[in-house]
Chain A
Amino acid sequence: MISLAGRDILHAWGKFIFTGIGLGLLIGVTLTMAGVYRGMVDDGKVLLDNSGANLWVVQKDTLGPYAESSSIPDDLWRSIRTLPGVAEAANVTYLTMQVGRGEKDVRAMVVGIAAGEPGTSGWPPQLVAGRQITRGHYEAVADIATGFRLGDEVKIRRNHYTVVGLTRRMVSSSGDPMVFIPLKDAQEAQFLKDNDAILMQRRRTEANPAFNRPGVPGLLDAVIASQTSNNSVNAVLVRIQSEYSPQEVAEPIRRWKRLTVYDRAQMEEILVGKLIATSAKQIAMFLVILAVVSAAIVAFIIYTLTMDKIREIAVLKLIGTRNRTISGMILQQALVLGVIGFVVGKITATFAAPLFPKYVLLMPIDSILGFFAVMVICVLASVVAIRMALKVDPAEAIGG
């Protein structure tokens, strides 16, 4: 027996190729969407990996430092470091903002890293060029996605920083590239006010009789100093000693320091389950719509191709072709269309992924799932055409 589907496809190959390419572009978009989601999850994981921490100590009852704002005193790390099982504790600040690059600005996550040496929690683990920050002020390490190059000037608030090192794929959970600067500078940047605001506040403080008491010299100066300096950080990153479990170390911090502590699994749950949950739903909606549109296209094409063959199908039935053979022909054509579409889609997605501004991670498992989804969609889409073909009466071939 010859393959009726195969012969029909060879005969009308142009139709199949063009429809397959159209369908393939849709499938490519679908695979890319899935890749965008995977990329977001991966960005979150890379963010956690790169921080080098086992525990994140944040303000009580907040989901900080990535999902909510968190503010804790910057001297807490000393006492945390003395707790059993703590190998290292380091302050860190995170602030997503526009940083100046020449005339323009780029969105970046500014990370304030504690003084220390490379390998300290919060520091970029690897550089692709240049060196780590060595001075306490006005040096920066930027991710190459910001567009900065070695020696460039970064403007953060009123201060200028020199780029001394570059990283790759150091991004925030929303995909913004990171710029690392010394902690002191970052603290200042987070709470830096403009000169007018400082003057206004100073005047208000001076006018307040509670702070400006004639009998207490030095009080006013002390108050103003505490107002203008900032002694907060967003989190303390803790690395634990290998013989301790994260829970063992976290428990005393929670109890004695009245802080919230997250381990790696909890942090992942916050990033993936909460922070990008809405985006994930958004993407899921897109995937559903794309699946429906693809199904509609396949159904429509297979339906039209079958409609064009009603006469031939009646003849085939009259001369004794089994219904199974005819259904098989239509089904095979739908599947071939699906395979062409999938191949085109996979190629499209592979070439398109690197062009996206955020990380797009094409996972083999998504391709495999996508392939089976396409096949299922094609089977379902051919049902309408098959039902129509089965209804064709062989008597129609004889006519009136």
Chain B
Amino acid sequence: MTAKGIHIEGLSKRYGEGDTAVLALKNVNMQVAPGEVVGLIGPSGSGKSTLLKCLGAVIDPTAGRMVLGNEVIFDDEWKVRDLRALRRDKIGFVFQAPYLIPFLDVTDNVALLPMLAGVGNDDARKRALELLTALDVQHRAKAMPSQLSGGEQQRVAIARGLVNRPPVILADEPTAPLDSVRAMSVIRILNDMARRFETAVIVVTHDEKIIPTFKRIYHIRDGVTHEEAGEGRSFE
């Protein structure tokens, strides 16, 4: 009954109980098709992170329905037993800061995810290298994260988000620390990868530089979303 990508219907999230309760998401509806990159934009405190956390299965939504790929993961309650495995296999995360593991080299930072999923070290590294090549950082494969530039680190982080071929990528302010050239290159990479791996991508951002690149944008304010067509400007 569902297509691939992300489907969110009537999602709400309440923090706390009684007088101090905060309704951070109110009946949110959202669709992202495979291969599509949508923007999620809103002022501070509007509920962007809460939405990512619900989708990322690190907090429990209060009510609603979430479908990833063709699997109903939440329908007023979790439908998946192992949320850890869900995160590992179905969701790629890209953060504002790259948060690479400082004691692993670039290859192993990326290969760690397939390894955690039980893939053998050699195969995992091969997969990591493919992605690093796709993202044009293969020449730094043996480097430690501290030896990379900010843009290189962010590309490695994207490679890590993609390496398990998840149907969904959640990116939280992925371009914030980057200048406009690098920011554009990250957006281009996300679009390329989304198309190539049929991944649905949600990018939370404030970044004026990249907002015009989205074809569709969800605005969120006080926990309520409404959809808008974006400019879909070329980023090449």
Taking Cβ atoms with an 8 Å cutoff, the residues of A that contact B are: 1-2, 4, 7-8, 10-12, 311-312, 315-322, 325, 393-395, 397-400
Indicate with 1 or 0, residue by residue over B150-163, a CB within 8 angstroms of chain A CB atoms. Answer: 00000000001000
How far does the alpha carbon of A188 sit from the alpha carbon of B59 in the complex, in Å? 92
Residue of A8, A11, A316 contacting most chain B CB atoms (<10 Å): A11
Chain A hits for B3, CB < 8 A: none
For A312, give its contact among B52, B59, B102, B113 (CB under 8 Å).
B102
B 84-132 contacts with A by CB, 8 A: 84-85, 87-89, 93, 95-96, 99, 101-104, 108, 112-113, 115-117, 121
**A–B pairs, 26, beta carbons within 8 Å:** A2-B104, A2-B115, A2-B121, A7-B104, A7-B108, A12-B103, A311-B99, A312-B101, A315-B99, A318-B87, A318-B93, A319-B87, A320-B87, A320-B89, A320-B116, A320-B117, A321-B116, A325-B116, A394-B58, A395-B53, A395-B56, A398-B58, A398-B93, A398-B95, A399-B95, A400-B49
Is B36 among interface residues, defined by CB-CB distance under 8 A?
Answer: no
How far does the alpha carbon of A47 sit from the alpha carbon of B115 in the complex, in Å? 64
How far does the alpha carbon of A320 sit from the alpha carbon of B88 in the complex, in Å? 5
Main secondary structure of the interface of A (DSSP, over half): helix
A324 to chain B: closest CB distance in Å?
11
Chain B hits for A12, CB < 8 A: 103
Q: How many of B's residues come within 8 Å of A, CB to CB? A: 29
B145 to chain A: closest CB distance in Å?
10
How far does the alpha carbon of A337 sit from the alpha carbon of B185 in the complex, in Å? 44
Chain A hits for B53, CB < 8 A: 395, 398
Known: A398-B49, A398-B52. A322 touches B84 (CB 8 A): yes
Known: A1-B121, A320-B85. A11 touches B99 (CB 8 A): no
> Quick check: B58 and A320 within 8 Å, CB to CB?
no
> Quick check: A11 and B102 within 8 Å, CB to CB?
yes
Chain A hits for B172, CB < 8 A: 398-399
Chain A residue at minimal CB-CB distance from B170: A398
B5 to chain A: closest CB distance in Å?
21
Known contacts A319-B93, A395-B59, A398-B56, then 20 further A-B pairs from the complex at CB < 8 Å, ordered by chain A residue: A1-B121, A2-B104, A2-B108, A4-B103, A8-B103, A315-B95, A316-B101, A317-B84, A318-B56, A318-B58, A319-B87, A319-B88, A319-B113, A319-B116, A320-B116, A394-B87, A395-B58, A398-B49, A398-B95, A399-B172
> Quick check: B112 and A2 within 8 Å, CB to CB?
yes
For B115, give its contact among A1, A317, A393 (CB under 8 Å).
A1
For A315, give its contact among B49, B88, B89, B101 (CB under 8 Å).
B101
Chain B hits for A399, CB < 8 A: 49, 95-96, 172
Chain A hits for B117, CB < 8 A: 320
Residue of B96, B103, B172 contacting most chain A CB atoms (<10 Å): B103
How far does the alpha carbon of A317 sit from the alpha carbon of B52 in the complex, in Å? 16
B65 to chain A: closest CB distance in Å?
21
Known: A12-B103, A316-B101, A320-B117. A393 touches B58 (CB 8 A): yes
For A397, give its contact among B93, B113, B115 (CB under 8 Å).
B93
How far does the alpha carbon of A12 sit from the alpha carbon of B146 in the complex, in Å? 13
Known: A397-B95, A398-B52, A399-B49. A10 touches B103 (CB 8 A): yes
